[in-house]
Amino acid sequence: MGRFAHLAYTPSVREVQREQGSAVMADRRLLEGDAPEPLTEAEAEFIASRDGFHLSSVSETGWPYIQFRGGPPGFVHVLDERTIGFLDVRGNRQYITTGNVRADGRVALFFMDQARQLRLKLFGHASVRALQDEPELTERLAAVRTPGREERLLVVRVEDYAWNCHQHITPRYSEAELAEALQPVRARMAALEEENRQLRARLAANG
């Protein structure tokens, strides 16, 4: 988290840390160095398992903008230990994130698994690339992608990342997660219903 802390702990943040008594803890993070940490297999697997994430960009006027990006698990591809990307499809055609990235590539990404109370946050530099300019990359990112009309590629060079504390994450489950969790219960209910059907049939046969 060394690089992440160096990016996040601005002078005003440091001032608040001193006021709130957490400066010593923050100092330890800053001592970890300022070199970007490579994404490991743990981060790659977590990103690939997510069916959505929040993406924050910043405008020329300094206003942050947060947008949700969703798709099938794996639609965000880890290209290497410092790079992730996905194929962007047509949405409401406001293009706020695209315009922001064109002016200032700094972004923050927030991946969350609420069922397991896990979250991963990343800082990076994003770039928008034309589909026709990079056919090999387009093919790779199109292997798993969000349904819709293809418009561009969005590639993020990861500056650093940090796993967040699980505190205050409300457990929630997607339809697929609920289906998997309830499968044994549904199987048991089906077995009991069949058992009841057979018992009723025997009772009816015996008058």
Per-residue pLDDT of the chain (207 residues; tens, 9 = 90+): 679 999 999 999 999 999 999 999 999 999 988 888 899 999 999 999 999 999 999 999 999 999 999 999 999 999 999 999 999 999 999 999 999 999 999 999 999 999 899 999 999 999 999 999 999 999 999 999 999 999 999 999 999 999 988 888 888 888 888 888 889 888 899 888 988 998 898 888 886
- What is the model's pLDDT at position 206? 86
146 and 205, same domain (yes or no):
no
Same domain (yes/no): 143, 98: yes
pTM score, whole prediction: 0.85
Residues in the chain: 207
Say yes or no: 82 and 134 in one domain.
Answer: yes
Nearest alpha-carbon partner for 108 in 187, 169, 162, 34: 162
Q: What is the pLDDT of residue 192?
A: 87
Whether 137 and 161 share a structural domain:
yes
Structure tokens that stand for 158 in this block: 């990861």
- Note whether 86 and 158 are within 8 A (CB): no
Provide the 10 A C-beta neighbour count for residue 206.
6
Q: Are residues 131 and 144 in the same domain?
A: yes
13 and 111 assigned to the same domain:
no
Same domain, 41 and 105: yes
- Contact, 158 vs 122, CB < 8 A? yes
Cα 181 to the center of its chain, rounded Å: 22
Q: How many domains does the chain have?
A: 3
Number of other residues whose CB lies within 10 A of the CB of residue 171: 10
Residues 5 and 96 in one domain: no
Same domain, 165 and 103: yes
CATH number for the domain spanning 137: value is 2.30.110.10
Domain that holds residue 182: 173-207
Q: What pLDDT, on the 0 to 100 scale, is given for residue 202? A: 87
97 and 75 assigned to the same domain = yes
Residues 69 and 161 in one domain: yes
Q: What confidence score (pLDDT) does residue 126 get?
A: 98
With tokens 């070199």, the residue in question is: 35
pLDDT of residue 181: 81
Are both 46 and 66 inside the same structural domain? Answer: yes
Burial level of 105, CB count in 10 A (0-12/13-18/19+)? middle
CA torsion 70-71-73-74 (nearest 10°) is -100
Q: Render the burial of 107-139: b for 16+ CB within 10 Å, e for the rest.
A: bbbebbbeeebbbbbbbbebebbebeeeeebbe
